[in-house]
Structure 1
């Protein structure tokens, strides 16, 4: 427990107040451990009884949790359990019953996209959907969390280690034979049998195995069978300072983990600890190992004993290469200390409570262009703010306009859609900024932009602010819209759409708050055209943000001026609607939404509306399936 408490201790050292509730006893690699006497004596630690031992099938005694959730002084709740776990569902239920309004953040290491049985996948989606932050320990887990419902941008956070314990040896290692080491559980999926077989052809190499587990006796027999009994030493389980001494005593750490249908490495803490001790690593490409090790080691295919043996033998014979890897490993491990973990978690917590930046950021304007350099000229002419033009058309005239007005020009190299273009601009920014999205067929003055930012910044929970707009004739355009939920579809179908409350602003002249961008992340690039700002705004709302309409200012927008093909435009719009519905409300939600649109459109056609043909075409479009039509349209254009 002491080693894992480095996270909370680093948070406290950074000035945060932390209270920890954890299981009194738990299974750690097949070994039952519990709170130490020091842990129990710590007033910040509460041991909680649990029932069940499976990581996904245990629950906490609800009484301490109920009491803690009643404490209104907490700013953030940190749930360090997998989203699909029964304990997570217990937490969510108790939080709801206790009417606790503190936002919560969630952890995950699961880097295989598993589909869990009911009700666990319901628990998982509910937990992820309502979380205000996520800190997976690997990139794949973060992507899976997003696909399964987390609305924001996960902060990938390492598991951490104590640099006071795991540090390089003070001087050079004494000369002698090269020693290979392994640290970890002795179980089939860890690949130790592959490692023993890989070293068999190399009599100059010895192996020290540190750890215990169900495969230990089998591994001892394998070493004897391979004629390696004298070259393989089993050192038993080590921890803390003894484990650090082990890393410093070897020349190379081998991490031979395999890939199975249900498991791959989720982090690889032993690799980080070894790198921190100045020991280079040879590991497989199982799961998160390549991203964790980076340039601090050598990566080989999982399960390939020849490649593993050749890499170990080659590195053993190349001392200068070992020194280079050792230096790189120490530097890389330095980004995964408990202090770094605390810094990343602090960012997650700050985002969860919508903590504002210390100073209001500058405004940067982003325009995604597709030809029509003439419209771009009108949009950015005279702007006093930094402008980034993302060109989805690789049009030299667009480049010329951008350069003439001092804008940053980014060639997207393909037409990936509006959201992809915006993300390209965001990735190019070196500091946080409030971002004004401006369509090429829209225009707004500098004073109005400044007023938009002031109004945005006056509301700490405002993610966006849209500018009121009118067309070239001065006719006002509708800027704020309700979210296209299944209920909203049917409300519009029966003629009650006018009573809906506007919820978000369209993206033609829309300012996005820097803090909201950091928490929500960029646009979903699955949306090619239309609904990408709807999706972003909806995700922001799930994370507790609001969307505003600016006062006492105006811009101009000539709707659809950049599009000359009504059929293509309407197809993309409907496909965006379907994509949004499926993403946020599932297949059933889309079925209900689609039915509402068809009934409403067909009804207006049948009742003889003046634009009846338009409604009939819309009903047919939704009856056929908008995304299918969009796909056919794209294939026809190729």
Structure 2
């Protein structure tokens, strides 16, 4: 049994979707996980938990920036922890409260900051106090590291990036022919798409302009490819644009259907753009596709190159670069080679076991 005490605080602690991370961390440390009972109107259900989590009452819990624990037990636990790992942004109120409890004691902040909102041009004294108190600040990717430095975090306190993880038990290969049959049976509109021949390209995520959705319509019109897209709709006009270009649009899919969707594809694409206030922090969907046996390409934005390899990226919104890359990967042998590399890469860096090892290293815990 691991001897070392690690206490993690996260507003999504009660979301069972992320509990595989806690399971792996518990194998290398005595882990306590804390979070609010209710966040953004959702009350978490302990019956669904895959890992025991300590939930506390909180106020102002409609946003991660403002939620404040309202029970003494939280403050007692945060104070006495050997190591406190705060999975919250450094400019959040709970990060500041945690910092006041940890003066002179190890505290690590994991951040996905993508802009300077709330920084007040460096005059956010609460955020500056967090940087002064924290042992290390852990960025989600290299772009986040640069943003943190611009927000005032000393370079000496910014660690190497630690990405998100994906569970191989949730996302694994389904035989391609069987996946296509199952998908067509549940969503008949894809039947004709699979009959067209040529490369089957897919996208999963929000149908939202910053995700670079328009390039999918351009690709469908300019290359001999079949494109499937699924996800919640944020911009209605984009659905019309995609359908007019011949893209088959499905609704947002649950985990089991997503596994089938990824396995049915020849290639996955994440064409996100870079905006003033938003960047693709990680690109989790790329790893999900890879674990389902489908290689991934995407734009050179945020955490995407870190996940899939820079050589499988194109300039954000650059249709010519995207077309050249897809033309190259129309060759099955090329795709197989990319998939072999990407599978080994994500296993080594982005499985939950790998993430646990990286947390172990940055916090200087020893097995």
The normalised TM-score by structure 2 is: 0.80
> For the residues of structure 2 that align with 1:298 and 1:107, how far apart are their CA atoms?
27
> For the residues of structure 2 that align with 1:188 and 1:171, how far apart are their CA atoms?
30
What residue number does 2:3 align with?
A: none
What residue number does 2:112 align with?
A: 109
What residue number does 1:318 align with?
A: 331
Say if 2:21 is the partner of 1:7.
Answer: yes
> For the residues of structure 2 that align with 1:118 and 1:284, how far apart are their CA atoms?
30
What residue number does 2:314 align with?
A: 300
> For the residues of structure 2 that align with 1:252 and 1:313, how far apart are their CA atoms?
12
What residue number does 1:431 align with?
A: none
Q: Deviations over 1:136-172 (max 9, x none)?
A: 2112323444562344350321200111222334578
1:181 Cα deviation from its structure 2 partner: 0.9
1:119 Cα deviation from its structure 2 partner: 8.5
Q: Work out which of the residue numbers 230, 253, 259 in structure 2 matches 1:210.
A: 230
What residue number does 2:262 align with?
A: 247
What residue number does 2:239 align with?
A: 220
1:53 Cα deviation from its structure 2 partner: 2.7
Q: Work out which of the residue numbers 329, 341, 350 in structure 1 matches 2:364.
A: 350
> For the residues of structure 2 that align with 1:50 and 1:39, how far apart are their CA atoms?
23
1:347 Cα deviation from its structure 2 partner: 1.5
1:66-85 alignment runs, 5 A limit: 66-70=75-79, 72=80, 74-85=81-92
Query: Cα RMSD (Å) of the superposition?
Result: 2.9
What residue number does 1:89 align with?
A: 96
> For the residues of structure 2 that align with 1:269 and 1:260, how far apart are their CA atoms?
19
Structure 1 stretches of 5 or more lacking a match? 359-638
Maintained 8 Å contact 2:38/2:44: yes
1:36-51 alignment runs, 5 A limit: 36-39=45-48, 43-51=52-60
> For the residues of structure 2 that align with 1:33 and 1:329, how far apart are their CA atoms?
35
What residue number does 1:130 align with?
A: 133
> For the residues of structure 2 that align with 1:252 and 1:187, how far apart are their CA atoms?
21
What residue number does 1:626 align with?
A: none
Say if 2:280 is the partner of 1:265.
Answer: yes
Question: Which one scores higher on RCO, CA 8 angstroms, separation ≥ 6?
Answer: 2
Aligned to 2:249, the other structure's residue is in SS state strand
Distance change (3 Å), C-alpha of 1:40 and 1:281: closer
Distance change (3 Å), C-alpha of 1:172 and 1:332: farther
Q: Work out which of the residue numbers 297, 315, 333 in structure 2 matches 1:282.
A: 297
Larger radius of gyration: 1
Q: Work out which of the residue numbers 345, 349, 358 in structure 2 matches 1:332.
A: 345
> For the residues of structure 1 that align with 2:176 and 2:51, how far apart are their CA atoms?
37
Aligned to 2:256, the other structure's residue is in SS state helix
> For the residues of structure 2 that align with 1:212 and 1:91, how far apart are their CA atoms?
35
Distance change (3 Å), C-alpha of 1:162 and 1:34: farther
Aligned to 2:124, the other structure's residue is in SS state helix
What residue number does 1:152 align with?
A: 157
Distance change (3 Å), C-alpha of 1:188 and 1:57: farther
Maintained 8 Å contact 1:163/1:337: yes
What residue number does 2:211 align with?
A: 190
- Count of aligned residue pairs for this structure pair: 334
Structure 2 stretches of 5 or more lacking a match? 1-14, 181-193
> For the residues of structure 2 that align with 1:125 and 1:101, how far apart are their CA atoms?
16
What residue number does 1:18 align with?
A: 31
Maintained 8 Å contact 1:255/1:284: yes
Maintained 8 Å contact 1:278/1:329: no
Maintained 8 Å contact 1:18/1:44: no
> For the residues of structure 2 that align with 1:167 and 1:152, how far apart are their CA atoms?
37
1:300 Cα deviation from its structure 2 partner: 0.9
